[in-house]
Amino acid sequence: MSSLDLLFRLAGLAMIITVIHALLKQAGRDEYAYLSLLAGVTIALLWVVPVIVELLSTVRSVFQLY
């Protein structure tokens, strides 16, 4: 997955979660609104963590740390 693809996926996720959060908050379902935010952050982390691991691996190989 390219970094641009990841960026667009994260932006799309943010828009969807924002709409869901606003709808639930207006309906008086604050608990579910916060749970939707938590789910969005979790999904985003699951997408970003492999990229960070790859970055750290590249830095390690460039500087021959291990």
pLDDT in tens, 17-46: 999 999 999 999 999 999 999 999 999 999
| Residue 65 token pair | 């740390």
Average pLDDT over residues 50-62: 92
Contact 44, 10 (CB under 8 A): yes
The Cα-based distances of 26 to 30, 53, 59 in angstroms read: 8, 39, 46
What is the rounded distance in angstroms from the CA atom of residue 65 to the CA atom of residue 59?
A: 8
Mean pLDDT of 1-20: 93
pLDDT given at position 66: 59
How is residue 58 written in tokens? 């590249």
pLDDT at position 63 = 87
Q: Tell me if residue 2 falls in helix, strand or coil.
A: coil
